[in-house]
Every structure is written in structure tokens, then in C-alpha cells.
Amino acid sequence: MTSQIGKTRVKVEDLRKLFPISKGLFRKSTDFVYAVDGVSFEIRAGESLGLVGESGCGKTTTGRILVKLEEASGGEVLIRDRGTDEMTHVEDVKDRKEFRRNVQMIFQDPYESMNPRRTVFDIVAEPLFVQGMGTTGEREQRVVDLLRLVGLTPPEPFLFRYPHELSGGQRQRVAIARALVMEPSFVVADEPTSMLDVSIRISIMRLMLELAEKLGVTYLYITHDLAVARYMCDRIAVMYLGKIVEMGPTEEVLGSPMHPYTRALLSAVPVPDPSYHRPKVEIEGGVSRAINPAAECRFLARCPFAVDKCRTDPHPDLYDRGTDHLVACHLVAVDGSWTGRERAVLELRA
């Protein structure tokens, strides 16, 4: 695993997912929800990329495509197998069992993602049974080791409990153990702490970071909470209506946000200092419709800086503004500074 650190683990190019809106039994749909539209990014081995944005922006759909729970409408996803230099096209995967050894998902809701009629042992050991790995005794030992690793100690009393006998934090630890029992190299974590009490969120996040270091796991971490993304992720990608509008190193994006949507998200984060007054970013209206969106910038209807260029040109591509900080905005200056951006706004409006 050490030899793969720094190599690209996941590569997503121009990913698209359109959901048709039914018009009737015998009529072909002409309207589509553009859940994911032209998304591209890479995640290096051992790295954690945070996918952040409002509900409905396409984060979960992107994650489900990467683990082959949804089929993409276009684009491609490549994932490097552990211990090899080969990258596999997800859409070409024929051996689902082999794919599941390498790629797993931690779901958002620990209450709904488990079969209430199965014990903790059955839930965590199921991938081992499906893959035909080990004897019964070896599987039990593997489950015991995983439960201990995720902090359910002593593990033996938990083996034959049912999900309803566990707390929310314990269930999510079981979900993490289930995802890691096959030692995957890539895990999609879909808001794994959003359903948990604030008091235990930090312990689950710390656990996931420790396991990533011990087991060499690469994460796509989906969340709407920028504070969680800052704690968990090496880089952040901000999504809005199916498109990535800003992406870069976590501290760079949060410390020097360039896109007005990113600034608006940051302005909504509470600051535990009553004397601090963060300047507000006024964005207009509500979230636009994702049904057959127009070609121009997706954020146009809400952007307080929009000018004629934004209304006439197609949605901007992601451009590197330096230090691997990418932004999709017509008005961001090449140097990436807000002074330069405001100057560009004034020049275009003149």
C-alpha cells in the first residue's frame, strides 16, 4: 500500500446522471433532472476528498455511481485496484464480487441500512460469506477483530445483539466494520455522522481517520457540514446543482473561498465567538430547478455579482487559480484574489 501513496486511486471524468421525468406509459420522456452534470475529479491513494453542498446538489448520486449502485448516463469512473497499477472502468465491471472487495460504502442512516432481523455478527460477516472467505471460526475471529478495531469493546457481547439493541453510535460503528471487513481500498462515506448525536460525532470521525491511516483507506466523504469536511478531508469539492463550482485543498478553499456560493456556505457556519461579526454574503432566491437547466452558469439566478457575460456564456469550466485551487466562475480574477475579482466585476459592469 505504501508504494501507492500519491498515485491516483479514483478518477472521475465528465460524469453525468440524468433522471427522466415520466410523461406517461407510451410517451418518451423529454424532461430530465440533471442530478450530476459534467463532474470531474481525482482522489489520490490515502487521501480524503470531501464533497459538500446543499441537499439535492448531486453529492449522494455521485457517490452511488462510484460504488456501482447507480449507472451513469455519461462520462467515466476509473478505480485503481489495491496492489496493482491497473485502473478499472466501473461501468465495465463484470465481476461484482471482486469489485466489492475493493470498493464499499458507508450509508447515511444507521437505522435503515441494517436488516433488523440479523445479528451484528451476521451483518458484519455477510461479505465474508458472500465472498466465500475463511472457515466459520476464521470469520468469527475476523468480526471480533473488526468490532474491537471500531471501538465496540469487549466485542463478544455485541456479536449476537440485534440492531434495535444498539445505540446510534454503536450502529454506525457496526456499519463501518461491515464496510471495512473486506479491507477495501476505497470507501464512499455518505454523511456517516449526520444522524448521530453531536456528543458522539467526533468519536466516529476520529475513528474513521484512524482506520484510514491503519488500513490505507481512501475516502470520498459526502457532507453538507463544512466543519466536518474541514476535520475529515484533505481536499474539498463544492457542488451546486450537479456541478462542482470550487475545489482545492481544504484550508485553501475555506480560508480563501473564491466562488460566491462557497462564500455563502461559509457565512452560514456559526462562529463560537459573540464578538465576531462575519460579513454576510447576500445570495438571492432559492435553489434553482435541476430540470432541463439552461446552459449558462447554474448559480446565475442567485448570484449577486452576475453580469451580462454570465447570462450569455455557457457554465464556466473549472480553472486552476493557483495552488491547485480550481474555481468555476467567469468573474474570478486569474490571481484568485478577491480584490482582483471585485475589480473584474466593476470592469464588466462598466
Structure-model confidence comparison of residues 285 and 263, the more confident one: 263
Cβ count within 10 A of residue 280: 10
Domain architecture of the chain: domains with CATH: 2-233 (3.40.50.300), 239-272+279-349 (no CATH)
Contacts of 53-59 spanning 24+ positions with Cβ under 8 A: 53/224, 53/238, 53/239, 53/240, 53/265, 54/224, 54/240, 54/287, 55/224, 56/287, 56/290, 57/239, 57/240, 57/241, 57/242, 58/17, 58/239, 58/241, 58/242, 58/243, 59/190, 59/222, 59/224, 59/239
What percent of the chain is predicted at pLDDT more than 70?
90
- Buried/exposed 153-171: b ≥16 CB within 10 Å, e otherwise: eebeebbeeebeebebbbb
Query: If you write DSSP's letter for every residue of 119-186 in order, what string do you get?
Result: -HHHHHHHHHHHHT-S-HHHHHHHHHHHHHHTT-SSSGGGTT--GGGS-HHHHHHHHHHHHHTT--SE
Reduced to 3 states, what is the DSSP secondary structure of residue 230? helix
Reported as a single tens digit per residue, the pLDDT across 292-340 is 898 899 998 888 888 888 888 999 999 888 788 999 998 875 545 544 5
Reported as a single tens digit per residue, the pLDDT across 46-74 is 899 999 998 889 999 999 999 999 999 99
pTM of the model: 0.88
Cβ count within 10 A of residue 173: 25
Best CA proximity match to 278, nearest among 288, 292, 286, 266 = 266
CB contact at 8 A, 315 and 297: yes
Grid cell for residue 82: 489495491
- DSSP character for 317? P
Q: How far apart are CA 41 and CA 33, in angstroms?
A: 22
**pLDDT at site 349:** 44
Looking at residues 160-181, what average pLDDT do you find? 92
